[in-house]
Structure 1
Amino acid sequence: MTASDPHRDGEGGLRRQGLTIAKIANLAGVSAPTVSRVLNGQAGVALSTRQRVEDVLREYGYRRRESGSAAILELVFHALESLWALEIIRGVEQVARKHELAVVLTEMQGRLTPGKAWTEQVLARRPTGVIAVFSELTVQQQSQLATRSIPLVVLDPTGEPLHETPSVGATNWTGGVTATRHLLDLGHRRIAMLSGPVQWPCCRARLDGYRAAMDAAGAPVDPDLVRISTLYVEGGLRDGTDLLRLPDPPTAIFTANDLQALGVYEAARQAGLRIPEDLSVVGFDDLPFTQWAGPALTTVRQPLVQMGAAAAKMIVALANGEELEQHRVELATALTLRQSTAPPRRR
């Protein structure tokens, strides 16, 4: 485009009122009905054609003037298999209720990215906003939401969040340091770490915090004591069992979440070990069941309810056209001391 392009103003910006569906169609080299289908999130448009139209919309900073958004807050989870998700839902619902918004849940059954059907349904519903929890929308999906002025906030992103995408998380690195220092202060040196997938920033940060605390204490990290596990009870049981079968097993295990810690409890029971007399265990999240475990679990509290509420508040602000003070919000973690840790038993 040149400076004389009739679709731009004198400063090179878009004259919003002059960009019609017909002009978009002309710029993208498609028909007006095709542009209409793209704008309304309808099916029947080839991917390459849809991308051409989206490219034009992005280039001109187009935002469709909606007749009004539905009073809905879309909440997308990659899985709903633990109390972790319920705590976040509670926080989102608290804010949604105050603003008379209904909460719609979508579970992707372990997949990290919503499918095409979800995208088309959301674009058709035109919700007030979308919160993606432990999920990852594609660049195209994010562009489609932005084009229709549907705010997006990512909670605990599974990939590095795009700079312009608002996100909410916790101080995972600090939590990892705090948990490990607690075990070091008790006298442990053979401290194992069960991490989650390290491609996920929250898991990588917890593992990095563990390594930083060990390094600061001059306690070398034995590679055999670090396992990349799954964030479920089964992962804690499997990898906890392997750790306890080592010739020189750990005296303490720090897990990336409370479900793994529960699996470690069972691994210790099967090995005939007592917690904390024979093995200290620290979890991460502070889910409600941890205070009723036998013994009650020492864990790093992640403010899940507050994280859900923070994400919902960001959606409401963006939907009202307000500027966010911060695009990345990290809430503080804290160690909750209970009965699952003690000084190591003399061998």
Structure 2
Amino acid sequence: MSLQKVSPGRATLAEIARDASVSMSTVSKVLNGRAGVSDAVRERIEGLLHSAGYSRRGTAYEQGKLIELVFDNIDSEWSLQIIRGVERVARENGLSVILTESGGHLSLSPDWIDGILRRQPVGVILLFSNLSIDHKRQLATRNIPFVVLDPAGDPDPDVASVGSANWAGGLAATRHLVELGHRRIAMVSGPLAMLCSRARLSGYRAALEEAGIPIDPTLVDAGEFHYEDGVAAGTRLLSRADRPTAIFAGNDLQAFGVYEAARMLGLVVPDDVSVVGYDDVPSASWMGPKLTTVHQPLIEMAEQATRLVLALRDDPHRKLVRIDLATSLVVRASTAPPRG
């Protein structure tokens, strides 16, 4: 079957239906994310809508009052900081925020896109996720822009993203420990499949190399960004005969876990082991001792991502950008010179 090309910017439902050899109601179902259309037909219609530059600008934007915020897991202070930043900008623009869970760090659950197409938010902010080519096309045909916040991997060139200077944060945390006189510095890393984890680890290694300290790979223990991983990794590291005198944790939750590991082993922070975290969540300043950590501007990152997704809504042809905000070290009571 040969398909007649529809003139970009001038498509009507009737033209799309004619070229796809389907009824107008079928095109409407695809456009509005409803069921009842086979995968093959849906794909053919999506392709025509995309190539034709089809736009629902006058309808979707008037009706849509939502920004969709997609997490892999909503279970920490980190998540609450992100929500706070998105809500602040959404409220300024008369919008509400809807939260959904994607089902994984690096990929979205299969039915996620169907919910998005039904709700038709004015924009989507993704945490730790990228989109498949098909998902990008489906969102583009409905003029639903998206921004990746704190990307898990290196975003595609056609993806706008907002992150932070993770390498610089890892460098600053480790430099601080080196400057205190530590030489056996361990790191509890986050998942190495995630870009932020690799960048923080690279910063840690760069600081050691800068100080002329040999890198001991046995002092790096990777896990998830969870409290339990900090307990497990901290226990392994601090049970060694040649235990480290300092530990840099990939996030504050892991650092709290290292605190617990030290306590169980009869060690005192920072007398026996200095600990540095990452993120600077509110409870970092409530711990005993208060946690030295790298401040990641989570609220500001979320605000920036929300403003960016709204700018893309208003100007779909806006140049896509990748923004990395600065991090800074917050020195508190969990770090001190090594004893002896």
Give the structure-2-normalised TM-score: 0.92
Q: 16, 20, 39: which is aligned to 2:9?
A: 16
Distance 1:141 1:322, change over 3 A: closer
Match of 1:152 in 2: 146
Q: Does 1:312 align with 2:298?
A: no
CA contact (8 A) 1:317 1:323 kept: no
Match of 1:222 in 2: 216
CA contact (8 A) 2:105 2:128 kept: no
CA distance in 2, matches of 1:294, 1:192: 21
Residue 109 of structure 1 and its aligned partner are, at CA, apart by 5.2
Write the deviation string for residues 169-221 of structure 1: whole angstroms up to 9, x where unpaired: 00000000000111111111111111111111111111111111111111111
Q: 328, 340, 343: which is aligned to 2:334?
A: 340
Q: Does 1:250 align with 2:244?
A: yes
CA distance in 2, matches of 1:36, 1:275: 62
Partner AA of 2:309 in structure 1? I
Residue 324 of structure 1 and its aligned partner are, at CA, apart by 4.9
Q: Does 1:62 align with 2:54?
A: yes
Q: 247, 253, 259: which is aligned to 1:259?
A: 253
Q: Which consecutive residues of structure 1, in runs of 5 or more, have no partner in the other structure?
A: 9-13
CA contact (8 A) 2:143 2:316 kept: no
Distance 1:123 1:238, change over 3 A: same
How many pairs were matched up? 338
CA distance in 2, matches of 1:106, 1:66: 26
Residue 7 of structure 1 and its aligned partner are, at CA, apart by 3.6
Q: 165, 168, 172: which is aligned to 1:171?
A: 165
SS at match of 1:277: coil
Q: Which consecutive residues of structure 2, in runs of 5 or more, have no partner in the other structure?
A: none
CA distance in 2, matches of 1:267, 1:154: 34
Q: Does 1:192 align with 2:186?
A: yes
Say which is worse superposed, 37-46 or 257-266, in terms of deviation.
Answer: 37-46
CA distance in 2, matches of 1:233, 1:342: 23
Write the deviation string for residues 59-101 of structure 1: whole angstroms up to 9, x where unpaired: 3343344413211111111111100000011111111111110
Match of 2:33 in 1: 41
RMSD: 2.2
Partner AA of 1:315 in structure 2? V
SS at match of 1:212: helix
Distance 1:176 1:126, change over 3 A: same
Match of 1:98 in 2: 92
Partner AA of 1:101 in structure 2? L
Partner AA of 2:40 in structure 1? S
Residue 31 of structure 1 and its aligned partner are, at CA, apart by 5.0
Say which is worse superposed, 144-153 or 155-164, in terms of deviation.
Answer: 155-164
